[in-house]
A and B are shown apart, each in its own frame.
Chain A
Amino acid sequence: DQQVKQNSPSLSVQEGRISILNCDYTNSMFDYFLWYKKYPAEGPTFLISISSIKDKNEDGRFTVFLNKSAKHLSLHIVPSQPGDSAVYFCAAGWGNTPLVFGKGTRLSVIA
């Protein structure tokens, strides 16, 4: 039973446009959510997070939106750059329990 789902395995976007990566979750206990970016042959690096008490968090070109009633979050990247091409993992957690990760979405930004 997947508690965190990223339904799009891949996404292609033109350079300069907006990239929107989506994530759905099922566990109402989750109270914080994170996005990680992963390049091939490297470990995931933290990108941005959001607490369940917020509905938006922004950091430069990256914005995460949380819709608790829909149990949905999304990552917006504006404008997209070729260096953003990577696999993006959505993760959720609560308390001290291990993070639960989605299966990832491969983003390709085309120049």
Chain B
Amino acid sequence: DVKVTQSSRYLVKRTGEKVFLECVQDMDHENMFWYRQDPGLGLRLIYFSYDVKMKEKGDIPEGYSVSREKKERFSLILESASTNQTSMYLCASFEGTDTQYFGPGTRLTVL
């Protein structure tokens, strides 16, 4: 059974704080993704990575950065959190045309 885990289910941070969201997958997938989900906007791609040390911008990369030092781990970084980054963050991994598997999500609130 594929497992994608995220470090926190719920997180509350203050404006200006640096925030790290961690994602780990156990299927040896090369491709990993970070999305945010907001009501009425669906799933929007922030960043993705096809391999270790590689990263590509998605549709809404502004205010975010990522790190992929190991194949199984993909981190999303908010350098200076802002209130408009309050959202549900979803990590996913997949290989080729296989199903994309999602983690349970992190609900981030920025005060």
Interface residues of A (CB under 8 A from B): 6, 9, 31-32, 34, 36, 38, 41-46, 49, 89, 91, 93, 95-96, 98-99, 101-104
Which residues of A have CB within 8 Å of B101? 46
Residue pair B99, A43 in contact (C-beta under 8 Å): no
Q: Is the interface of B mostly helix, strand, loop or mixed?
A: strand
Residue pair A44, B90 in contact (C-beta under 8 Å): yes
B100 interface contact, C-beta 8 A: yes
B104 interface contact, C-beta 8 A: yes
The tally of residues in B whose CB lies under 8 Å from a CB in A reads 28
Top 7 closest A-B pairs, CB basis?
A: A103-B42, A43-B102, A101-B43, A46-B99, A43-B105, A43-B104, A44-B102
Task: State the CA gap A31–B96 with chains docked (Å).
Answer: 12
